[in-house]
Structure 1
Amino acid sequence: MSRRAAGAADLVTGVVAAACAAAALLLHAFRPVPAPMAVTAAVVLFTATVVGVLRTGDQLRRSQRLAQDLTTAAALDPLTGLPDRTVLQAALETALARAETTPEDEEDEGGSLVALLLADLDGFHEVNGRYGPVAGDALLRRTAEIVRANAPGGALVARTGGDEFAVLLTGEDAARARLVADGIAAAVTPQAPVSVGLAWADPWEEVPDVDGTDGALLDPAHEVLRRAEVALYTAKAAGGGVGLFDPGHDLAVRERALLADELRAALSESGQPDRGATAQLVVHYQQQVSTATGRIGGLEALVRWRHPRHGLVGPETFLGIVEEQGLVRRLTEHVLRTALLDARDWHTAGHRLRIAVNVSPTCLTDASFVPMVDAALRESGVEADLLVVEVTETVLMSEPQQALATARRLRALGAQLSIDDYGTGYSSLSYLADLPATELKLDRAFTMRVLTDPGIAAIVASTVDLAHRLGLRLVVEGVEDEAVLAAVVEAGCDETQGYLHGRAEPAAEVARRLGISPAPPAAPAQQQEQVPR
């Protein structure tokens, strides 16, 4: 027994003896009884009191332990068992505060260095969509184990949310942070593609508030987190691997993050596609003209973003953000439903035109895609055979079994299937025989050279012949002048698409081109509020 414990025991013994003696004197004073009896009664009373106190203390200790356990559990991610973002934030604040107490001239010794590493799985939303949440959870648990195993012993490993993990490094570990980041990236990559962002903290740097508040400084921990996120964006933009924080990339990454927030807000949360004048995500349509009749045979739906700051921008500006943010399904549903509702308006006016919607390769591996198409067709009332789902041949080669199963389910609905950008990938003639496609779209790369390269002209002619022998419609993209049009018509293609016939245009312009009178303006809001709620 230690001296402190022995002293505490002596103190308790003395208190008990003194309390018993006092109780005996009180009992004897107020109600005279034999002294031995008074002492015995005092001991019994005090013993009962002590037992009650001890029980109460035990209950308090149990309550405290339970509260502590609950607090600990609340700060741990239930899936991986790692600390959460709250714990990381607190640990980062502590590390930075400790670093600030170290003189700047002693930084080279390594004791004051702080570094933060963020690792994010690329394409995790695709894993969830293709294999389900159980497989996604298993991947997250496995990733957590790998990151923890490859982090230094003194590092804090946390899951900050979704498919993102963090590693907080201090002291000498922070000085070796790049090696740690490279090691984690190399270890995780065999399981799934990963991007890693790395930022070091300068505890003596004063960072002005981006809002320009006089004298205000950003929270240092928040700033380190933000810099690590900038580095992570840099890594993602480079296609994965490790990215380091670079102040030169800061503004570009801030703008990209802002675009991601604006894009998420632009996608309707109401469940109804916005086709009004104030809609941001709009669908334009480009004609597909029959070579036999010269009339419009179909229209391809192409999404545009009517951005409040940048004006009308094409998909090349934001599709990368859509994929990064896991918004592919929501954007696809928005375009699909909008296009079919527009088609319904044209069909009602007597123009039975096909509507082609280009979808992401991930859609053919997403179990919810075919039910989405079915629901959109039912909502619009458009006949299924007037919907053409365009997919690139890349997914048909990379995920042939799943793509084939989805394609067959689409055809079972009655929808058509088009192979877009045909000839640009590593085409396999075998999948053309198995795939229930109805159309081939020859890529513009061939169209541009059909007049100048005899080999390309032969490829175009043979592709047309192959498509027709397989019973497929052949559409040629990128037709921009009369000479090219004449060449592909001579080769036997069925429809052409390109700037020669017109650029993609809003639904109202399509209606005007078709000779459809514009719909009467909607009644004012006060007149529409006639029906009681």
Structure 2
Amino acid sequence: MTRRGSAVDALTGGVAGAAAAGALLLHAVRPLPVPMAVTAAVVLLVVVVAAVLRTSAQLRGSHQLAADLARAANRDPLTGLLDRAGLQAALDHALARAASASEEDEDEGESLVALVLADLDGFHQVNGRYGPRAGDALLRRTADLVRGSVPDGALVARTGGDEFAVLLTGDDAARARLVADGLAAAVSPEVAVSLGLAWADAWEDASEDAEGPAEGDDGVPADPALELLRRAEVALFTAKAGGGGVALFDPGHDLAVRERALLADELRAALCESGQPDRGATAQLVVHYQQQVHAATGQIGGLEALVRWRHPRHGLVGPETFLAIVEEQGLVRRLTEHVLRTALLDARDWHAAGHPLRIAVNVSPTCLTDASFVPMVDAALRESGVAAELLVVEVTETVLMSEPQQALATARRLRGLGAQLSIDDYGTGYSSLSYLSDLPATELKLDRSFTMRVLTDAGIAAIVASTVDLAHRLGLRLVVEGVEDAETLAAVVGAGCDETQGYLHGRAEPAAEVARRLGISPALPVAPAPAPAPAQQVSQ
């Protein structure tokens, strides 16, 4: 019998006794015939007991409702699985039980705890293409597949978005890899999936070989449940980086992930240091410039702006080190604005000294689908005072193929400002010639993969020549990248290209070196930047 049931029975018995006592008291005050007294007592008892039972039922209903609400509080409403809070509570319990079993020298199987995290690859595309209802249906279907492919007693949770978790203990934890493989096999026919696997003892052992998982950043010992979750997420990240499948937690990968997270924090701080572009000696994110040389005259016709990170620990590092982090952390807009403004302010100085060179700025494909991008370009042009036609916005052809309508609309708005548009890495994206006739581009940049083989492959040489002819027929300037020796230069110039770019002419260099190359004295005064005018509405 439950404690709550005992309390109700005691209350009922007490009330019944009180009713009988009341009847006897009434009889003592005013004597009644025995049959009438007994009848009154029975009636009073029935009324009181009925009221008590009704109250008891209400209490039980309230307790049941409270219990249902408590269970629902840790349940995912879409799939009925435990949510992240419920999973963490279960992890706390499992790890505490494992620690207790270990301390009491019981069967080692009782102290095993493993966690599998599964993430659906490309789920956002499902939502975007077919709508949220289809996405919800896929999540419910995945929940059923996960439940049906794990051992009895395994705890299954949806930790958020398209991520699921499986908590294994005891003997099941010992064969967790088999469980993870079976889970991948069950889910992957429906949707691509990545899985990360970590054991509780794995993170404890790793703390002896690697720096720090035993303690948090503040020196406080790490919470075991949160630490196991984090380790499983590291393994999941490894699996996704490898293209899917199952990955086990590895301390070496953990250090790489920690370093990547630290770089993300440092990058965000470097971008947030000031609202104004820092072009001084203390700047971390700096812009270097590589020259583009006229094929006919050998003179510099333009400069391509290339971002570098003057990292306080690693020194000067190229964009390949941090651009992926920029994309992951949602810092594309900040970095683009920083590079754009810095490049245009440098160009302003060169123009004021009598060198009106074009300045080309690479932008992420996401910029062409960002409604704030064109106003950003407009504001940067107004701030610097550089003529719009001397700015070249470089975009890869990939975005032009994947998001043609949005990309075309943004390109037209850029051309409406007066800026030029360059198709970077042309030829690497299985180009469709149809978009070239509609796109308001002014320049094609032939990718270096063609340049490197132009001397040794007759087919490539024919492609280069035909690309030059195509560009000219469309009224576009043709820039060849990757020119590293005189023989290659002669070949592409002979094919008719307009400009060349590559190590033969020079590597990317700081603005001060560009000024020196142009013969500009460091002491030469430059015109101050005009006050930014209010941004005008750009036509669609």
Q: Which residue is 1:488 aligned to? A: 492
In structure 1, what residue type is equivalent to 2:483? V
- 2-structure distance, mates of 1:272, 1:42: 90
Give the 3-state SS of the residue equivalent to 1:390 in structure 2: strand
**TM-score, normalization: structure 1?**
0.76
Contact 1:148 1:157 in 2 (8 A): no
Runs (5+) with no aligned partner, structure 2:
527-540
For residues 265-284 of structure 1, the aligned pairs below 5 Å read: 265-268=269-272, 275=279, 277-284=281-288
Residue 475 (structure 2) pairs with residue 471 (structure 1): yes
How far is 1:314 from its partner? 0.7
Contact 2:121 2:192 in 1 (8 A): yes
How far is 1:287 from its partner? 1.7
In structure 1, what residue type is equivalent to 2:212? V
Residue 387 (structure 2) pairs with residue 388 (structure 1): no
Contact 1:340 1:377 in 2 (8 A): no
How far is 1:19 from its partner? 2.4
1:433 to 437, 449, 456: 437
How far is 1:475 from its partner? 0.4
Contact 2:213 2:222 in 1 (8 A): no
In structure 1, what residue type is equivalent to 2:488? V
Q: Which residue is 1:228 aligned to? A: 232
Change (3 A) 1:439 1:126: farther
Residue 148 (structure 2) pairs with residue 146 (structure 1): no
Give the 3-state SS of the residue equivalent to 2:309 in structure 1: strand
1:460-514, CA deviations, whole angstroms, 9 ceiling, x for partnerless residues?
A: 2222122111211100112233443333223221111122332222344444545
For residues 440-455 of structure 1, the aligned pairs below 5 Å read: 440-455=444-459
- 2-structure distance, mates of 1:518, 1:188: 67
Contact 2:305 2:359 in 1 (8 A): yes
- 1-structure distance, mates of 2:63, 2:490: 85
Change (3 A) 1:11 1:157: closer
- 1-structure distance, mates of 2:198, 2:240: 15
- 2-structure distance, mates of 1:346, 1:237: 43
- 2-structure distance, mates of 1:308, 1:92: 39
Q: Which residue is 2:301 aligned to? A: 297
How far is 1:238 from its partner? 1.8
Residue 357 (structure 2) pairs with residue 353 (structure 1): yes
How far is 1:255 from its partner? 2.2
1:149-205, CA deviations, whole angstroms, 9 ceiling, x for partnerless residues?
A: 224264433343455432323345435533443455456667765432112333995
Q: Which moved more, 1:323-332 or 1:202-211?
A: 202-211
Paired residues, number: 509
How far is 1:38 from its partner? 12
Change (3 A) 1:445 1:141: same
**TM-score, normalization: structure 2?**
0.75
Q: Which moved more, 1:168-177 or 1:64-73?
A: 64-73
Change (3 A) 1:493 1:202: same
Q: Which residue is 1:157 aligned to? A: 156
1:324-377, CA deviations, whole angstroms, 9 ceiling, x for partnerless residues?
A: 44544544444344434544555566644333222334444x3xx243233332
How far is 1:313 from its partner? 0.7
In structure 2, what residue type is equivalent to 1:498? G
Runs (5+) with no aligned partner, structure 1:
522-533
For residues 289-368 of structure 1, the aligned pairs below 5 Å read: 289-344=293-348, 346-347=350-351, 351-364=355-368, 366=369
1:70-106, CA deviations, whole angstroms, 9 ceiling, x for partnerless residues?
A: 6555544567665333222221122223334556784
Q: Which residue is 2:465 aligned to? A: 461
Residue 253 (structure 2) pairs with residue 252 (structure 1): no
- 1-structure distance, mates of 2:315, 2:212: 25
Residue 375 (structure 2) pairs with residue 378 (structure 1): no
Contact 1:340 1:376 in 2 (8 A): no
1:210 to 200, 209, 212: 212
- 2-structure distance, mates of 1:267, 1:191: 41
